[in-house]
Chain A
Amino acid sequence: ETGVTQTPRHLVMGMTNKKSLKCEQHLGHNAMYWYKQSAKKPLELMFVYNFKEQTENNSVPSRFSPECPNSSHLFLHLHTLQPEDSALYLCASSQEKTSGVRSEQFFGPGTRLTVL
């Protein structure tokens, strides 16, 4: 498997469910990201992990909980979501240089989430 993979590709859940999204990158990168893409809105950065440490959290509600066990895997744990959380959730990775400047990001195919 190459590039960035995400599972599941589609997920339907109720507001009381708990589920997790998984992302894996096979590119040897050291930075991973979660984005939310809603209809007619720009891609919204949710979380950034550099070298397995969370470095950015863009005011995301606590019902979204990220986990990065190693530099190749990233999870997004979901609980008590709202219907407005329905969106495409994209994972991306990049190679961050020691100067702090990141290269281009490579995206996974996304998980289409529907909250009922």
Chain B
Amino acid sequence: GQNIDQPTEMTATEGAIVQINCTYQTSGFNGLFWYQQHAGEAPTFLSYNVLDGLEEKGRFSSFLSRSKGYSYLLLKELQMKDSASYLCAVRAYSGAGSYQLTFGKGTKLSVIP
């Protein structure tokens, strides 16, 4: 099975930078996803990492270290609309040619003025 751990809640100030960490334990690792989910809405895809290093996409960046089983999502120049839950999800090989995506519990980020 897989074990995915991320903080339950975080608070940050508008305009600041926040880093949301995710640690995982899995076999057959095949990629890590970050999703954003606003309250009452569907999760939306933010980023995907399969190789070590940093992937930058505008104000959002995601980092992966496969040897450490560690990823983080970095949000810069925080805006009020960034208040949401951020879900870390790990894809792993589950046998017989199939892959499974497992989600963490999510980190609820509150951005305050």
A94 to B8, CA, bound (A): 28
| B43 adjacent to A90 (CB under 8 Å) | yes
Q: How far is the CB of B53 from chain A (nearest CB, A)?
A: 19
Number of A-B contacts (CB under 8 A): 45
Q: Is B70 an interface residue (CB 8 A)?
A: no
Total A residues in contact with B, Cβ cutoff 8 Å: 19
Binary contact readout B78-106 vs A (1 if CB under 8 angstroms, 0 otherwise): 00000000010101000001111111111
| B101 adjacent to A107 (CB under 8 Å) | no
Contact of B91 among A40, A42, A102, A106 (CB under 8 A): A102
Can you add 5 more A-B contacts, CB < 8 Å, to A90-B42, A102-B101?
A42-B4, A43-B87, A45-B101, A102-B91, A106-B45
Residues of chain B touching chain A, judged by Cβ–Cβ distance below 8 Å, are 4, 30, 33, 35, 41-45, 48, 87, 89, 91, 97-106
